[in-house]
Amino acid sequence: MSDYIVTDVIDGIGRITLNRPAAINALDESMMHTMTETLVQWRNDDDVTAVELSGNGDRGFCSGADVRALSQALTSGGAWLHFLEHEYSLDMLIADYPKPVTSHLRGIAMGGGLGIGAHADRRIVYADTVMAMPETKIGFFPDVGIMYQLSRAGAVGRHVTLTSATFTGGDALLMNLADESADGPLPAPLFDTASAWIEECYVSDQPAEIVAALENHPDENARKAAAEMRLRSPLSVHVALRALNRAKTLNLGAIFDQDLRLAERLLPTGDFVEGVRALLVDKDNQPTWLYPSIEEVPLEVVDEIFAYRSSWKS
């Protein structure tokens, strides 16, 4: 059992509390294992009628999976793919759980935090909620099944996917990543103040055309978004956009399968280890990506990453 997970049952409600506040409750394998075992046990326990997920500390619900540990496993020859298999299995367990699951998405809820929180039945956001899928910052792509929601959120979903932009609880409500606000009406700037330039610029299915549209738009915020996209892993931007487009026609299980198969092909040879180093280990924010720009990513490299054999059976 993980010291970073606290569980109890009160009046029929099984409560799982992430208890690693110093790391904004980042998920390591012991935490995922304990959560999985607890949910499996409660699934057949008649004394548990519903489940609630929350995070300790004043910084947030969960900052994501422990990608530093994942990167270390990758470079040391450890069972890195098992880490992702375990993570995605937990996410699917929550998504398919036979009893109602509520997640309290206070503060920071990002990456793998949305994997466990955004697939619950009832997802509550707050005035201080800050969400993101920041994977293109570290040479990855938005995974944990969130492409299901992002691919169905129009231009805003594309913006969030490619730039790793943060967004509010109000935005999350409109993107079907949340169901209700505990703090009344919440602002949704990506759908309000930013909606015009986002709708105009994220039309193409080609990353180079999207970034060019942003750079040439008269709105300063569009040009800032272009500058942000230029800082991301060019290869990851390409993979993320193609995965997003494919996800439009996939169910959740097939999207998790896509996540795992793409990760299996991208992580060992892509920008992930370098991205984690630059952002989270050395923190110099000076990654040396495999390709200097979005325009210079060979399409045949992207094609090869997507040339996997799916194991998903619907």
* Domain-wise residue ranges, the chain: 5-305
Please check whether residue 100 is in contact with residue 50, taking contact to mean a CB–CB distance below 8 angstroms: yes
3-state secondary structure of 44: coil
pLDDT at 115: 98
Between CA 150 and CA 116 the distance in angstroms is 16
pLDDT band at 195 (very low <50, low <70, confident <90, very high): confident
Residue 313 in this model has a pLDDT that exceeds 70: no
pLDDT at 31: 97
Q: Domain 5-305 falls in which CATH fold?
A: 2-enoyl-CoA Hydratase; Chain A, domain 1 (3.90.226)
Residues 146-178 pLDDT 10s: 999 999 999 999 999 999 999 999 999 999 999
Average pLDDT over residues 82-110: 98
The two three-digit tokens of residue 309, written as one number: 């054999």
Please check whether residue 226 is in contact with residue 218, taking contact to mean a CB–CB distance below 8 angstroms: no
Phi-psi region of 313 (alpha: psi -120 to 50; beta: other; left: phi over 0): beta
Residue 34 in this model has a pLDDT that exceeds 90: yes
pTM across the whole model:
0.96
Residues 223-254 pLDDT 10s: 999 999 999 999 999 999 999 999 999 999 99
Between CA 174 and CA 188 the distance in angstroms is 8
Residue 142 in this model has a pLDDT that exceeds 80: yes
CB-based burial label for 132 (10 Å; 0-12, 13-18, 19+): buried
Q: What is the rounded average pLDDT for all residues in the chain?
A: 96
